[in-house]
């Protein structure tokens, strides 16, 4: 039998291959750009109580907030009363894996209560649509998983 195929040499060779594999994983993970929190997390924490109240307000009209996925667009329906009184609103396409893929669209008041949001230019990512509405008296917030 060849002197290179002894059990001690095979153990050393296996350990060396294992170490190469571990180091390749480490360098691969270090090369990825992962963003686990928002850059302004402190400000977001201060606004958290306001957000919880806005979520409770949205739960009171939850059945009236409807999201429909259509070809290339998303249709958001809100109660017409809220759509008429809307002071400000936004639709935030949030991608948890890549902050560069996020997109925010303003929502303007209209009498119909339907907002058409284009999905062209969005990456193939499990987006969350964060809808914020403000009618002057109350704020509303709802999150949809796309």
pLDDT of residue 24: 95
CA 120, CA 99: separation in Å to the nearest integer?
17
pLDDT of residue 130: 92
Length of the chain: 146
Which string of b and e fits 75-88 if b means at least 16 CB within 10 Å? ebebbeebbeebee
Please list the ranges in the chain whose pLDDT falls under 70: 1, 34-38
């Amino acid at each position: 039998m060849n002197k290179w195929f002894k059990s001690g040499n095979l153990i050393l060779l296996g350990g060396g291959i294992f170490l190469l594999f571990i180091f390749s994983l480490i360098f691969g993970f270090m090369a990825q750009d992962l963003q686990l929190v928002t850059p302004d997390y402190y400000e977001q924490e201060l606004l958290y109580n306001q957000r919880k109240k806005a979520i409770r307000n949205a739960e009171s009209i939850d059945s009236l907030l409807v999201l429909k996925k259509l070809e290339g667009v998303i249709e958001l329906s809100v109660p017409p009363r809220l759509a008429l009184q809307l002071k400000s609103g936004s639709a935030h396409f949030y991608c948890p894996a890549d902050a560069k893929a996020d997109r925010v669209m303003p929502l303007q008041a209209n009498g119909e209560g339907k907002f058409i949001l284009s999905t062209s230019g969005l990456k193939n990512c499990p987006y969350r649509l964060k809808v914020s509405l403000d009618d002057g008296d109350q704020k509303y917030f709802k999150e949809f998983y796309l």
